[in-house]
Structure 1
């Protein structure tokens, strides 16, 4: 057998792709394209959270998008002002379909508004702080908000506007309004992950901990990293309530300012999207003594597992009983649909390239209907999202990461109260209960599957050409590239006007949607124009 014949499909793909790149880029991409080997619990090292090569069509977004568009965007009663050109503000306005549900018709809800200082050439030349102050004056006169967030864009950082100084000055003028700024200029960091970190820091320092009044109810906890895309948080709230638990706050889907400022009063933090909000979980544990662990409400089986883990943490027999009853009732409805759809979908192949946790979470959901994941990767992940948090000590902090402030957090002298003793925590960990941990995506994936960080359009086309997947799950920028190649595509940034996909009812919705997509004749019947008419062909020779 030749050397090529002995290679796995993943190794062949990697070799063919790297051959087309200039040597320096090929060397870098070679570390970002990995053939997984999960035997024995050890996975190969992958390069992540590094700059995208200039000129490549990347899937990534910017720091501003990660801060306002992801972490703060779903909060309905924090008035959010984009300080910058109108395009940035419009881009981040409801593009992820974050839903919210005010308790009454009169309740405050700023989400229908896109508020921006709309910087023009004059402000770029002479500065925009005066215009920002006027915008805050106008916003307070019109809406009387409890809190205002100011979000910096690229031009603001380049011209030197100090949004934090403006926030302090305007807060002195309006002492009843909490005004805070975010240095989330789009160029900061290598992806939207930088914006997540900026948002976590400012929410922790300027919002969480302002009110010590706990929400009424037993078994109180927060969910961090659930953004209510397509109504996901509504379904999670329904399930949690059915089990008898009290969900204090969701960061930040369907959330309010009042829930944020008292979020430190809970007994537990749970983390959905590890990449975007693990910082806040860690800081709240250090300052207030609130433990955290990873959960996943994407997939019926994962939802049941997460509910059981939360109930186990609280250690109440009645809660455990009620949780099991709720799971049994919900799973009966799920199984009725899954059984039918499984037969039509089993054996099909999928690729997932999205987010900082979704490419992992949705593998569980696809697996429930027999669809195998053959390749996956993240847009803005770090190594620990792939390999697990055990690699954190070995991650080298580079210059791009140093652009993001790393807060020094100490225990609050008056409010630090460990919710679980060190002895009890150690005992539970010895029994297999994981706190403050995440195994990463690669450990769960099969051997010889492909793991690719920061996938680009060229590699997307090559993957489809070589693997011919039955389904690709990715974001809006990839949607039409994939569909034009005749491959079914599920867009997981905003669900394409569908959802929810979280929880039990969400799983049923997803089963039906994927069944409809992968078993549709549309992609087999539609032909591209170039399939029926000849094309001119040429070759490109790179000489170095």
Structure 2
């Protein structure tokens, strides 16, 4: 076994000045299409389930982003509370810092959370609220961390908000605590948000191989475990565009090696587990990982056999972004599906390079565009199925195209070996659904009925 070394996977983060590296799009003030920076920061931090999350701004800012992703919790649910200072016109004119202080005091007294994250918004940034000072004073007075997250929506895209949230974790959280003596040092998963419970499948595999999951950043996380993330031996970056900068900063500050990986598809899952064991420099762990992956892949081959018969040779258009833009391709190829079109509008240069390695020369890249652009690719390439986010679901239904939801709103976990089996089932059910034959047939009133004399 010779895993790929981390330096072979080097990628540029959002702060890179390299002329050919553009992991994050240039911020366009006022443009929130696809999510703003405020939304991106909440996406990253809300999965810290036992912390309180307070939005300092008008109530609509909290309402528009609250509960928008399918992140699941195995315990606390405090992060699901929609806390907001609910600034009104008078607060905007005369200042809302007193309201912020009162809100922090109420949350601390009523819920006693281990930490409170306070999010700035466009309104509070524009009127010059000194949120950092309020949070610092509250931290000293209340004795719990009150963490400012300065990511107002107008500063840039959702991906920039992910990065700003990572910087807040590095500045205020990581390194402020120590693990208990009975917790063995292991791996941090960075950029995995437990969508539809995927983290639980991943953690089960890691435990089977004897790999300790030190800190979840941030799917189904607890605040305390993130404070000791600096003691991990390895960082695995699951979503490179979102939090690659955090992994690089931790490597520089705490000397923790990192690698980029994925759990979509059997081969990607096997690679990620082997790379963890390799970077931890534990030969016995490597042998356990080899035995585990060989057993799981053998079992999966048998379980996938009836679905591969139906899926082999089918053509798909994949429209997603980030790590899924290339890792899902690997999973689809294992199912015998040909990807004839793939979206790249949310992918880094390195993501696009990985896509190119995994698809044929005739695959069409979709850099931008909406439903009309995707539909054109589906028709031109004679695709059998569309794999995209929930916002495209109704377009596919109207156009009578089989569809599978792959984005963060989904309710099915597709990570790991079990996840690939679920994906195969979902795609088979979608393609074989009798509704497509029924929808394409003439309506009863349009059918020719023989005249009976």
| TM-score, scaled relative to structure 2 | 0.87
Alpha-carbon distance in 2 for matches of 1:442, 1:73: 34
Question: How far is the alpha carbon of 1:261 from its aligned partner?
Answer: 0.5
Give the aligned partner of residue 255 of structure 2: 289
Give the aligned partner of residue 50 of structure 2: 77
Give the aligned partner of residue 34 of structure 2: 60
Question: How far is the alpha carbon of 1:515 from its aligned partner?
Answer: 1.0
Alpha-carbon distance in 1 for matches of 2:441, 2:128: 49
Give the aligned partner of residue 97 of structure 1: 70
Change (3 A) 1:446 1:240: same
Aligned-partner SS, 1:111: helix
Alpha-carbon distance in 2 for matches of 1:252, 1:234: 13
Alpha-carbon distance in 2 for matches of 1:140, 1:55: 34
Worse overlay, 441-450 or 261-270: 441-450
Give the aligned partner of residue 152 of structure 2: 185
Structure 1: any 5+ residue segments left out of the alignment?
1-44, 103-107, 388-439, 534-544
Give the aligned partner of residue 424 of structure 2: 511
Question: How far is the alpha carbon of 1:125 from its aligned partner?
Answer: 3.1
Change (3 A) 1:481 1:49: farther
- Residue 452 of structure 2 corresponds to residue 486 of structure 1: no
Question: How far is the alpha carbon of 1:219 from its aligned partner?
Answer: 5.7
Question: How far is the alpha carbon of 1:149 from its aligned partner?
Answer: 0.6
Deviation track 1:49-79 (CA, whole Å, cap 9, x = no partner) reads: 44699999x96211111110x2112111221
Aligned-partner SS, 1:76: coil
Question: How far is the alpha carbon of 1:448 from its aligned partner?
Answer: 3.0
| TM-score, scaled relative to structure 1 | 0.73
Change (3 A) 1:59 1:159: closer
1:219–1:314 CA contact under 8 A, matched in 2: no
Give the aligned partner of residue 8 of structure 1: none
Give the aligned partner of residue 101 of structure 2: 133
1:59–1:379 CA contact under 8 A, matched in 2: no
Alpha-carbon distance in 2 for matches of 1:159, 1:481: 40
Deviation track 1:158-203 (CA, whole Å, cap 9, x = no partner) reads: 22223222212222321x21111112111212x2111011111111
Give the aligned partner of residue 116 of structure 2: 148
Give the aligned partner of residue 521 of structure 1: 434
Worse overlay, 202-211 or 151-160: 151-160
Alpha-carbon distance in 2 for matches of 1:46, 1:454: 18
Question: How far is the alpha carbon of 1:314 from its aligned partner?
Answer: 2.6
Alpha-carbon distance in 1 for matches of 2:268, 2:238: 11
Aligned-partner SS, 1:187: helix
Alpha-carbon distance in 2 for matches of 1:54, 1:204: 26
Give the aligned partner of residue 166 of structure 1: 134
Alpha-carbon distance in 2 for matches of 1:196, 1:480: 28
Question: How far is the alpha carbon of 1:239 from its aligned partner?
Answer: 0.5
Question: How far is the alpha carbon of 1:462 from its aligned partner?
Answer: 2.3
Alpha-carbon distance in 1 for matches of 2:23, 2:144: 39
Deviation track 1:28-48 (CA, whole Å, cap 9, x = no partner) reads: xxxxxxxxxxxxxxxxx8987
Question: How far is the alpha carbon of 1:476 from its aligned partner?
Answer: 2.5
Give the aligned partner of residue 318 of structure 1: 284
Structure 2: any 5+ residue segments left out of the alignment?
1-19, 447-453
1:62–1:187 CA contact under 8 A, matched in 2: yes
Which one of 227, 240, 262 corresponds to residue 193 of structure 2? Answer: 227
Question: How far is the alpha carbon of 1:157 from its aligned partner?
Answer: 2.2
Aligned-partner SS, 1:441: helix
Alpha-carbon distance in 1 for matches of 2:127, 2:228: 36
Question: How far is the alpha carbon of 1:521 from its aligned partner?
Answer: 2.5
Give the aligned partner of residue 450 of structure 2: none
Alpha-carbon distance in 2 for matches of 1:47, 1:518: 37
Give the aligned partner of residue 18 of structure 1: none
Alpha-carbon distance in 1 for matches of 2:227, 2:432: 47
Alpha-carbon distance in 1 for matches of 2:181, 2:386: 42
1:376–1:450 CA contact under 8 A, matched in 2: yes
1:355–1:379 CA contact under 8 A, matched in 2: yes
Alpha-carbon distance in 1 for matches of 2:397, 2:110: 45
2:37–2:160 CA contact under 8 A, matched in 1: yes
Give the aligned partner of residue 372 of structure 1: 338
